[in-house]
A and B are shown apart, each in its own frame.
Chain A
Amino acid sequence: MLRCNVFNKKTRNNKIKKEVREVYLRDDIWCGASSCTTCESAAARLTASTILVVDTNVVLHQIDLLENPAIDNVVVLSVVLDEVKNKNLSVYNRIRALCSNPLRKLYVFANKFHKDTHVEKMEKESPNDLNDRAIRVATQWYQKHLGDATRVLLLTNDRENKRKATEEGIFAETIESYVKSLGQPDLLDLVVQPASVDVNMEDVEDSRPAKRKVIYAEHKPMSEITSGLRHGIYHQGKLRVNRYNPFEAYVGSESIGDEIIIYGRTNMNRAFDGDIVAVELLPQEEWHEEKSLSIADEEEEEEEDVHLAPSSADDAPRSTNLVNASDQIPVPSRPSGRVVGIIKRNWHSYCGSLDPMPMPAGSGSIAYALFVSKDRRIPKIRIQTRQLGNLLNKRIIVAVDSWDRQSRYPFGHYVRVIGDIGDRDTESEMVLIENDIDARPFSAQVLACLPPLPWSVSSEDLANPIRLDLRQICVFSVDPPGCKDIDDALHCTALPNGNYEVGVHIADVTNFVHPGSPLDDEASKRGTSVYLVERRIDMLPKPLTEDICSLRADVERLAFSVIWEMTPEAEIISTRFSKSVIKSCAALSYVEAQARMDDSRLVDPLTTDLRNMNSLAKVMRQRRIERGALTLASAEVKFQIDTETHDPLDIGMYQIRDANQMVEEFMLAANVSVAGQILKMFPLCSLLRRHPSPTREMLEPLLRTAAAVGINLDVSTSKALADSLDRAVGDDPYFNKLIRILATRCMTQAVYFCSGDLSPQEFHHYGLAAPLYTHFTSPIRRYADVIVHRLLAASLGIYKLPTIFQDRPQLTSTADNLNYRHRNAQMASRASVELHTLIYFRKRPTDTEARIVKIRSNGFIVFVPKFGIEGPVYLTAKGQKEGGEWYVDEQQQKIIKMDSSLSYSVLQTLRIHMEVVEPQPNRPKLQLTLI
């Protein structure tokens, strides 16, 4: 091993410093070619007679191509990896994954530590030139090392580098010419064109006569941004595009402590959702320009689709976005701004389909097409393809490459086909990809962490002093019918003193999922199980969820128990927590449990326990409501699915029974008790769940709607709101539920957080009116509960607290990931329901009752209670823009015909016709029309 010192000159405080760094050069770094006789061949990957060496830009820009198995036998140099890592971490992770994929032939050569390929910086050489030279030196070494039988080919799109390489006797080609030489035309679609080719794309720019004019403002250079940020002229933050109005975005800025609103694509200035941007505030007089969507109005206004009714504010449009509120008193508007630079791009690949377009003349020639992402926050993306005919009716994945000032849309390239549009499997996969859900089978490493099957409670478990033996107690579970992953069970025993012993027993998942194991890492990444209409994507492998941890009837299972002594008035006298062994005596469905309680002839012990429990639950529920807990409502839809075709057979609302509420009540109580216990022992590193109070602004749409029908809602506290919701009764029985549904969708969702990150007042859970709350009761399907189980066990001194809890930033990012995964799981469930709704109505045009929930200038949005969906009903035909036939009364929330012959007002009931139509081939959509 040789040693050499590398000197880095560093300028700091105007002083020139030399930094000495050691590098050890080795002779035990192997070339990785199987044909080589001098190197150790155990790790050899390269088998072909042509071996490729790629430069940094090829990896950065052509990663989709490299991911295609047609490109193989590639040497990835460590100097390239380092540079890629600096420039784009996500590409780095992808190339690393390829290098470690045993099915592929990519070999990492640590050129900078090899004695013959290490290069020293030369006088006046730029870092780029140094890297290029290092790549050429390594390529040359390979050629010399492997001899003439092998051709070592350098792939680079850098003209200068290629010229130098050729001069030095190295085979070098551009990526295009290499891919062309492979004779697989489809591969060419994956090749990212250099930006200079963009000029050709004018054809698809649009049909307007305009030349390639500048559409967007220039992005400021980084130095200017940095100084602007320092001087408070610019503000830095992550851009979040409104999911329901892609022409509106928000940048949460710490420097001004508020959200800056960005209206319109011009002001967004080519920023994507998730980009870290620098924003300049607009002058205050321009803050209220909600309507001046300067780019949007040039663009065809996107039509609103029929979708699932939102169940919280997170699912619904943020802005009121109703009608032109010209006569409205302007509310103090929030700061708005425009993007002046992009600090960090969040570009990745997107799934969607191509905008329908006519086929170009000769097939197989290059066509330019516009890609429309399923995620509406993403602008259309321009791609070029040689297989338009093949792609038009497909769901495809596209990646973004660049976006210059002259192009309305960004440029990208085709990555792969998912499947046919409208095909259920394709669309389901879209849902998963779109929501970043990993539905791959568990790896062998993860499965190796499972205990051998068949598993049963061992004598050691029973002898373990930390475990309470509760096998003699009549424990039972109540779940939806057919539930296989039973993670909670209950018991309720009458005590001699007239009180009750009530127990909540939760599957002891952490007995099997050990901190830091591959199984734990995987579950932590997944964060939650995902429930789609036709399938479930588990957080933990099936043997655990459906067998070992599932608290099934008549088998002994390990549990983590919360046991209270309660008075008949449901006052908690004492609380105990303990690991336990239980043997459930019955796994009931909600319907079964309800039927038992309702059947007065039954007096068996189980039924008696159920009834006692139910009456306790009712007291607890009443007390909770008195405290101000909201009884909110959402329209939960349930499908009956054909077991063979997986097509929906029936659709309807989910019915909630006493038995559901009973179980829910005790789960809430257990979560509250556990939250108190862990926070007491670990005030700084407990994982809790909070529900922020809705701001008045968020409740504004509800208040306006209620006011229009003459109802005054008091939203000062959750208690006041709960009371006024109780009083909001209309002419029909559904009215109150409708108001509650509208209230629910004004609120944001509850979120996980680390207790050390917030002050105790902020821990509050608004919806439950509880000062403290956490998730403990579903560790089989939520990772938050797994963390809480570990905290609870540590608080009892049973186990040591895993080291991650000492690392606050890590814990915070875990909580953030859980929120992200949770949110995505919900979005995916909703998308899956929407998909099946569409499939269901495809063959079944239906007439049904609907309620108007929002007035628009050309119609209104209706909510269809029976199917839980909402969507637009147009009074004027599209294109006929505000023909003046109708006008809107904002105050009354009414849309009135000019001749006053007809009017519709908010919350009004009407009958509509639902039918699936195909305005464009292969783009089916559900249409609602007035009968």
Chain B
Amino acid sequence: MEYVSPEGLRLDGRRPTEMRQLRAEIGAVSKADGSAVFEMGNTKVIAAVYGPREVQNRSQQINDQALVRCEYSMANFSTGDRVRKPKGDRRSIEISLVIRQTMEACIMTHLMPRSQIDIFVQVLQADGVSSYSCVSLSCSLPLIDHPHFMNYPKNNQSCGGMEGADYVNRTRSACINAATLALADAGIPMHDLATSCSAGYLNSTPLLDLNYIEDSAGGADVTVGILPTLDKVTLLQMDAKLPTNIFEDVMQLATEGCKAIANYIREVLVENTKQLEYRRGS
């Protein structure tokens, strides 16, 4: 399969080091303390942040820092109705953990002891997932707004199979970027903006930000999360194997992608601040 043509174009018309189109919107969930929609191409994720607030379950309270919790969910696209994938399956738990750890590393948790910060991330659309109609915000919001979302009875029914699992992987970066933006919107003090981007390796070429078809090719896929100003790597995941020298190139490319996303997020925040100032001024 030819993923990069001899003319240097990928299947969707991008060049190897180009990212899919980014789009972000702040403040989509009015009841949340902070929220954001983040799009990378056809992948669309919404994040909502509640807190810092009182710890709900006292036994989980931490005396010298904030408790960060994260819940990941995904609209069920395959049937097109509003039934959601059962939560609590292995993949969802894993990605919840990944998001939580990444966010914990950038939140100044020591400034908010004995408090709780909840991050809800929901995938509205994953690239390559067929959907009847675009899952609209309105149908997803009630769930995200629900403060006791996490205490829903756990459904043990196994979920998704491989297909579902792949979507989870593919949405990792967008989830982290959405969460960062939502945390910033909530005014939670952070060391830095955590951003994430993936890169892969196909046809002997490092490719930035794989789309669905490229991701399904079975090549290596490196997801990197960084704190751009601190120049720290907070997340590194790789599927499949790569020789060391190639891995370094691919990781380098993903890191560049993270930095570009960080710049974009900063622009969005600056623009948002201007908007707020403008509104306040009027």
Contacts and interface: CB of A to CB of B under 8 A. Distances in A.
A and B interact: yes
Interface of A: 1, 3, 5, 10, 17-26, 78, 85, 96, 99-100, 108, 110, 112-113, 803, 806
A113 B6 contact: no
Nearest to B134: A20
A74 to B, nearest CB: 15
B14 interface: yes
A23 B9 CA distance: 11
Nearest to B78: A17
Nearest to B243: A803
Nearest to A107: B7
Nearest to A20: B42
Contacts of A19: 128, 130
Contact of A22 (B9, B42, B130): B42
A570 to B, nearest CB: 43
Interface in B73-131: 127-128, 130-131
A22 B12 contact: yes
25 contacts: A1-B14, A1-B18, A5-B42, A10-B130, A17-B132, A18-B130, A18-B132, A19-B130, A20-B131, A21-B12, A22-B20, A22-B21, A22-B41, A22-B211, A23-B12, A24-B12, A24-B14, A26-B13, A78-B7, A96-B6, A99-B6, A100-B6, A108-B7, A110-B13, A806-B241
Contacts of A85: 2
B5 interface: yes
Contacts of A17: 130, 132
Residue in B12, B13, B20, B243 with the greatest tally of chain A CB atoms within 10 Å = B13
A85 B9 CA distance: 16
Contacts of B41: 3, 22
B130 to A, nearest CB: 4
Contact of A108 (B6, B14, B243): B6
A871 B18 CA distance: 67
Contacts of A96: 6
A110 B130 contact: no
Nearest to B204: A516
A113 B14 CA distance: 9
A922 to B, nearest CB: 44
A26 B128 CA distance: 22
Interface of B: 2, 5-7, 9, 12-14, 18, 20-21, 41-42, 127-128, 130-132, 211, 241, 243
Contacts of A113: 9, 13
A100 B8 CA distance: 13
A899 B211 CA distance: 85
Given A20-B131, A22-B21, A806-B241, 6 more contacts: A17-B130, A21-B12, A22-B211, A24-B13, A78-B5, A100-B6
A10 B6 CA distance: 29
A22 B5 CA distance: 17
- Could you tell me the dominant secondary structure of chain A's interface residues? strand
Contacts of B128: 19
A650 B41 CA distance: 74
B143 to A, nearest CB: 23
Contacts, number: 56
A100 B211 CA distance: 28
Nearest to A92: B2
Nearest to A112: B13
Q: Which of B6, B21, B41, B130 has the most CB of A within 10 A?
A: B130
A25 B13 contact: yes
A803 B130 contact: no
Contacts of A108: 5-7
Contacts of A99: 6
Contacts of B5: 78, 108, 110
Contacts of B2: 85
B232 to A, nearest CB: 31
B55 to A, nearest CB: 41
A5 B41 CA distance: 10
A1 B41 CA distance: 13
A100 B42 CA distance: 34
A113 B13 CA distance: 5
Nearest to B2: A85
Contacts of A3: 21, 41
Nearest to B211: A22
Contacts of B20: 22
Nearest to B125: A20
Nearest to B79: A15
Contacts of A806: 241
A110 to B, nearest CB: 5
B9 A18 contact: no
Contacts of B131: 18, 20
Contacts of B18: 1, 24
B9 A110 contact: yes
**When A and B form their complex, which 3 residue pairs have the shortest distance between CB atoms, in order from nearest?**
A113-B13, A24-B13, A17-B130
A206 to B, nearest CB: 46
Contacts of A803: 241, 243
Contacts of B13: 23-26, 110, 112-113
A108 B7 CA distance: 8
A663 B242 CA distance: 42
Contacts of B127: 20, 22
A903 B273 CA distance: 110
A98 to B, nearest CB: 12
Contacts of B130: 10, 17-20
B258 to A, nearest CB: 20
Nearest to B10: A24
Contacts of B12: 21-24
A333 B73 CA distance: 63
A357 to B, nearest CB: 44
Nearest to B246: A803
A453 B21 CA distance: 52
A1 B10 CA distance: 14
A26 B243 CA distance: 33
A803 B42 CA distance: 34
Contacts of B243: 803
Nearest to A6: B12
A227 B55 CA distance: 63
A911 B41 CA distance: 83
Contacts of B7: 78, 108, 110
Contacts of B9: 78, 110, 113
A930 to B, nearest CB: 62
A20 B211 CA distance: 12
A112 B9 CA distance: 11
Nearest to A800: B243
A96 B211 CA distance: 25
A99 B21 CA distance: 31
A22 B14 CA distance: 10
A20 B127 CA distance: 8
A869 B174 CA distance: 73
B115 to A, nearest CB: 40
A78 B2 CA distance: 13
B212 to A, nearest CB: 8
Contacts of B211: 22
A424 B38 CA distance: 71
Nearest to B41: A22
A78 B13 CA distance: 11
Contacts of A24: 12-14, 18, 21
Contacts of A26: 13
Contacts of B21: 1, 3, 22, 24
A1 B19 CA distance: 11
Nearest to A8: B130
A10 B132 CA distance: 12
A806 B131 CA distance: 37
Most chain-B CB neighbours within 10 Å: which of A5, A21, A22, A112? A22
Contacts of B241: 803, 806
A225 B131 CA distance: 33
Nearest to B6: A100
Nearest to A21: B12
Nearest to A5: B42
A10 to B, nearest CB: 7
Most central of A85, A110, A113, A806 by chain B CB within 10 Å: A113
